[in-house]
């Protein structure tokens, strides 16, 4: 059995069972702590950490993205990667009006 990924929760300092309010509070605390303006001497590390914290909050504050993250980890939940449902891909390839004369309406694509 795979171990559940918790990196985003760890970045915000919250448990995987955290409520939306706890996630927001964790984000605020970590964003203030790691804001690049507060780390003039090592702004590169702070900037990377701040970006990671912001990405974690973006995912965990969205119920749909959070569910994907909990199921598939970062690879399935990154907003910029756009998770694609395999059924939708099948429908894009084999479904739609172009193929109805040949196959009829596919129940999988409804």
Instruction: Give CA–CA dist 58/29, Å, rounded.
Output: 15
Q: Which of 61, 58, 34 is nearest to 48 (CA)?
A: 34
* CATH 1.10.287.110-classified regions of the chain: 1-79
At the topology level, CATH places domain 1-79 in Helix Hairpins (1.10.287)
Hey, which bits of 1-110 come out as E strands?
none
pLDDT winner (highest mean) among 31-40, 79-88, 89-98: 31-40
**Residue-averaged pLDDT of the chain:** 80
Task: State the pLDDT confidence band at 1, using cuts at 50, 70 and 90.
Answer: very low
Task: State the pLDDT confidence band at 109, using cuts at 50, 70 and 90.
Answer: very low
pLDDT exceeding 70 applies to what percent of the chain? 67
Query: What is the enclosing helix (H) or strand (E) of 102?
Result: helix 100-103
Instruction: Give CA–CA dist 67/70, Å, rounded.
Output: 5
Give the pair of three-digit tokens for residue 74.
């970062």
* 16-44 pLDDT, tens digit each: 999 999 999 999 999 999 888 888 887 88
Q: Which residue has the tokens 């900037």?
A: 47
């Amino acid at each position: 059995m795979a171990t559940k990924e918790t990196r985003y929760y760890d970045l915000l300092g919250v448990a995987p069972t955290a409520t939306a309010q706890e996630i927001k509070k964790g984000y605020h605390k970590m964003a203030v702590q790691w804001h690049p303006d507060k780390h003039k001497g090592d702004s590169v590390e702070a900037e990377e950490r701040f970006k990671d914290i912001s990405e974690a909050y973006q995912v965990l504050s969205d119920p749909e993205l959070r569910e994907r993250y909990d199921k598939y980890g970062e690879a399935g939940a990154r907003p910029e990667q756009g998770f694609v449902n395999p059924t939708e891909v099948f429908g894009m390839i084999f479904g739609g009006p172009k193929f109805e004369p040949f196959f009829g309406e596919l129940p999988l694509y409804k």
